[in-house]
Copies of this chain bind each other. A is one copy, B any other.
């Protein structure tokens, strides 16, 4: 398995590394994880662009700092749902959300 791609995809908790190799993931699984990571990064970008701390964003989202951290790290306990909701809440345009899918 190629190392860069692995690291890029390795959302902590998916246990890609040790036992399961990346090739063990189906096309759909990989695509889904990539998508979540893209949304995660988009969220982090928007937050930083607005000069907000995770705590401030958490308050805005009526959530907690720890969950915001997980959102931005592609943690597997974070759903696509809440990523999209958060992006909408922070004022991301549909277009900038759509870009994550491209």
CB within 8 Å of B: which residues of A? 28, 31-32, 35, 79-81, 84-85, 88-89, 94-95, 97-99, 101-102
- The residue in chain B whose Cβ has the minimal distance to the Cβ of A30 is B88
Q: How many copies does the complex hold?
A: 2
- The residue in chain B whose Cβ has the minimal distance to the Cβ of A97 is B101
Interface of A, helix, strand, loop or mixed by DSSP: helix
Contact of A80 (CB < 8 Å), options: B80, B94, B101, B102? B80
Chain B residues within an 8 Å CB radius of A31: 88, 94
| Cα of A74 to Cα of B99 in the assembled complex, Å | 23
Contact of A101 (CB < 8 Å), options: B28, B79, B98? B98
| Cα of A41 to Cα of B32 in the assembled complex, Å | 20
- The residue in chain B whose Cβ has the minimal distance to the Cβ of A100 is B98
CB <8 Å contact, A80 and B84:
yes
